């Protein structure tokens, strides 16, 4: 099982993007039950996931309408929420350095 840091960040994004809240929470509840040893194992389950610099993984949420950026440390089964937003907003960020900001 994965430890997702910080759940409060996820809830903030659910409030900011209420139309995506159910999909984001569904991802959370599915993901905490997973146990991936590496990106290849993750990719078998989440075929749309992409790996980028700094151990970051990008997930498509609600098809391709939203993007979720996390930092994954497979060895410690830890996921840190870095950013969430629309696909259009995603195109404007530097995914390898973006950080959560209220």
pLDDT 10s digits, 81-98: 999 999 999 999 999 899
What's the DSSP call for residue 74?
G
- Please, which residues have CB within 8 angstroms of residue 61's CB and are 6 or more apart in sequence? 20, 23, 24, 27, 67, 68, 84
pTM: 0.93
Pairing relation of β-strands 56-61 and 66-73?
A: antiparallel
Confidence of residue 100 (pLDDT cuts 50, 70, 90): confident
What are the chain's domains? 3-90 (3.30.2310.20)
Return mean pLDDT, the chain: 93
- Given a cut of 80, whether residue 102 has pLDDT beyond it is no
């Amino acid at each position: 099982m994965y430890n997702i840091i910080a759940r409060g960040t996820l809830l903030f994004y659910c409030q900011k993007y209420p139309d995506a809240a159910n999909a984001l929470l569904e991802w959370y509840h599915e993901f905490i039950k997973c146990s991936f040893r590496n990106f290849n194992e993750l990719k078998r389950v989440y075929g749309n996931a992409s790996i980028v610099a700094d151990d970051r993984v990008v997930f498509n949420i609600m098809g391709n309408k939203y993007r979720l950026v996390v930092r994954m440390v497979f060895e410690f089964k830890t996921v840190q929420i870095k950013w969430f937003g629309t696909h259009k907003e995603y195109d404007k960020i530097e995914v390898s350095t973006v950080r959560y900001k209220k």
